Structure 1
Amino acid sequence: MKLSIIILCWNDLKIIVDCLSSIYSNTHSTEIEVIVSDNGSTDGSCAVIHKNFPQVRVIENGINLRFGKGNNVGIAASTGEYVLILNPDTIIHEGSLDRFVNFADRHPEAGGFGCRVLNSDGSYQGSARPFPTIWREWLAALYLRPLGYLSDTFVSDKYIRWNGETERSIDWQSGCCLLVRGEVLKRLGGFDEQFYYYYEDLDLCHRIWDAGYPVVYTPDVTITHLGGQSTTGRFPIAFALDKYRNRYRYFYKYFGRRGVRRCRHVSIAWLLVRGVGYKLAQYVRPSDALRRRLQLYWAATEWNWRVDPVQLVENGKEPETRLQVPIQIPQ
């Protein structure tokens, strides 16, 4: 088998059919297997996939294993020379997977591969990104990232002057569409399951680099990522807090106790700056959308203010909170 495609599904009936249709309609010369790892969907996703795509292997996990563990179920079942991690809210463009595999074949030195990801309006999504550092996080938090156009001192994103239109090595590629050499992926043990949503793709690429394999990007492969159509759009506050939990796990793993404490300071600054901005905007032009956004930022600010990131990572200790909103993802 040349290519295994792993798609994680959790109540994604409205989007996964289009994703699967685009795979089979637009892939021609590559032998593929598609594995859907279903995290306990209750919307009929599995039945519809079985009926309309009998060639797809559906693994019904029965419960929500989250992103890392759920994808690892599919990875363990895969047989492909290459494994593509693909979100259900993506659309594969004509011939893209054929070109993706050909590109990987031309780069035997590489372990991971990225491609050009577009938003639904056709704009570049910026799926190839640099590894985070405390300096880069501060620059982003204080809106200093645009100064990177003027001076390398302020480059919080080293790809800021790059539009994704040239081939190059990259630090990491978004897990919405990440191709990995199967041998390398299984040697690394798949995703680190402590990162159950967010940072799992970043961590995987970090480990690919650490194992001695570069991650390379091609602009000749294009997909559309709708974004926010899968589970993250349904529970915004719970997912926002998951993002910070996993952010602290990442900084603890690669920067230690001191690094993760510094990361918390950045997180609070980032949230306060944006929260104040949205509050001022709400005074000028009130709207339900701004009100909901403010609720999200203040909830995340309170949680980050109260959390001890070292205790969170080492002992799983969550902060006491007065949040009146769901802060955990339903199982």
Structure 2
Amino acid sequence: MKETAVVILNYNGEHYLRTFLPSVIKNSPGCEIVVADNCSNDGSVKYLKENHPEVTLVQLTCNHGYSAGYNEALLQVKAKYYVLLNSDVEVTPNWISPIIALMEKDPNTVAAQPKILAYDNKEYFEYAGAGGGFIDKLGYPFCRGRLFLDLEKDNHQYDDEVQIFWATGACLFIRADVFHELGGFDPDFFAHMEEIDLCWRINNAGYSIAYSGKSTVYHVGGGTLHKSNPRKTYLNFRNGLSILYKNYSRKDLFFKFPIRLALDWVACFKFIFFDSLQDGIAVMKAHWHFFSNHRSNFRKRRAVQKRIKVRKLETIYKGSIVFDYYIKKLKKFSEISF
């Protein structure tokens, strides 16, 4: 068993494997490289077998999506640390050791992420993770280097190492025993925001999550679902409600959850009248499916609430990022009063 396993979940991503896998192999000495194939029907498996026999291939029986796909694949990977890496990520030399060193130094730090820059515009942060993730009091996610769709230029302002609330699933370092201890990702999420849900449970369990600007990777983004795809909107809104319902305290569920529901409907009407009818319909479907699965959601909430050890989390922003961004017109992380 090697200390670190880099695990890439692949679905019909032969073009990404050809482009980015060689850099992962070259820049990850001493690590096991695993590709978990989510039942691709392109040439991914053939490419791996013919060109990269040094890579461990795990073949899943169907397309489980990101969440359940990783859950199943990681049962077959033995390592102290997992690095869950998207197939559309270019890594750099020495991208692993600074983060593993950070996690080894503090055993309570059980998950982490590197600096995430955009592959197509390498001077700027990338949407999925940027300089480390946070949420506000209403559960809206944002990052250092990215508020909603505004991305900052990388001027080395986030070359530090800090505690964060969530680490991106595009490049997630996590202790294997903690991943399994907390039940992994919620398999019902399929994809999108599953890492925020897991990270909230990590925080609730009394562990911490870190960001290291000493490691850098470049992410294409939108490799599975482009941001303009209504399916992505549906998953983000549905999974966002599930995250809050499971992890909010009873008080927050009573006072804050209705506000979040109302803001979702504001977004829905904005989509319909100003942006995309299909995205508006996607929000409606997300709410319908969330409430129609109330029994399953209640069982999950009860299970999560029983395991909470820490209620007050300092990495949750006490303000509203929606208000700061849309009303106060704050466009950079450094401008908000965290």
Same fold (TM over 0.5): yes
Equivalent pair of 2:60/2:73 in contact (CA under 8 Å): no
1:72 is matched with 71
C-alpha deviation, 1:208, in angstroms: 1.4
Count of residues in Structure 1 that have an aligned counterpart in Structure 2: 276
Secondary structure of the residue aligned to 1:198 is coil
Q: Distance in 2 between matches of 1:47 and 1:233?
A: 26
User: What is the aligned partner in structure 2 of residue 46 from structure 1?
Assistant: 45
Residue 237 of structure 2 is aligned to residue 244 of structure 1: yes
The corresponding residue for 1:129 is 133
CA distance in 2, matches of 1:21, 1:71: 21
Give the whole-Å Cα distance in 2 for the aligned partners of 1:132 and 1:309. 21
Counterpart among 193, 198, 204 of residue 204 in structure 1: 198
In the TM superposition, what whole-angstrom CA distance separates every residue of 1:79-138 from its partner, at most 9, and x where no partner exists? 11111111111111112123332232223231111210001201112252213432x64x
Residue 193 of structure 1 corresponds to 187
Give the strand-richer structure, 1 or 2: 2
1:7 paired residue number: 8
Aligned: 1:272 with 2:269: yes
AA aligned to 2:193 is Y
Q: How far does residue 261 in structure 1 lie from its aligned partner after superposition?
A: 4.5
Give the alignment of 1:37-186 within 5 angstroms.
37-120=36-119, 121-122=121-122, 123-125=124-126, 126=130, 128-134=132-138, 137=140, 163-186=157-180
Closer, same or farther: CA 241–313 of 1 in aligned 2, 3 Å: farther
Alignment of 1:311 onto 2:292: yes
TM-fit CA distance, 1:15: 0.7
Distance 1:207 1:310 in 2: 22
SS of structure 1 residue aligned to 2:79: coil
CA distance in 1, matches of 2:227, 2:236: 15
Query: Unpaired segments of 5 or more residues in structure 2?
Result: 149-155, 298-338
- Aligned mates of 1:116, 1:54 — CA distance in 2: 30
What is the CA–CA distance in structure 2 between the aligned matches of 1:102 and 1:87, rounded to whole Å?
22
* CA shift in 2, pair 1:59/1:23, >3 Å: same
Post-superposition CA distance 1:264-292 (Å, at most 9, x none) = 321121233355444xxxxxxxxxxxxxx
Determine helix, strand or coil for the equivalent of 2:72.
helix
1:269 and 1:212 map into 2 onto residues whose CA distance is: 35
Partner of 2:225: 232
Relative to the length of structure 2, the TM-score reads 0.74
Task: Report the RMSD for the aligned CA atoms in angstroms.
Answer: 2.7
Q: CA deviation at 1:234?
A: 9.4
**2:303 corresponds to:** none
CA contact (8 A) 2:5 2:34 kept: yes
Instruction: Tell me the SS of whatever aligns to 2:69.
Output: helix
SS at match of 2:222: coil
Q: 1 CA distance for matches of 2:28 and 2:9?
A: 20
Measured after TM superposition, the shift of residue 175 of structure 1 is 0.4
1:244 alignment partner AA: F
**Residue identity (%):** 22
Are residues 1:299 and 2:281 paired? Answer: yes
User: What is the deviation of 1:69?
Assistant: 0.8
1:179-226, CA deviations, whole angstroms, 9 ceiling, x for partnerless residues?
011222222222222322112101111121122211011100100110
SS in 1 for 2:214: strand
Against the structure 1 CA distance between its residues 59 and 261, is the aligned structure 2 distance closer, same or farther, given a 3 Å change threshold? farther
Task: Indicate the residue corresponding to 2:316 in structure 1.
Answer: none
Q: Distance in 1 between matches of 2:294 and 2:125?
A: 34
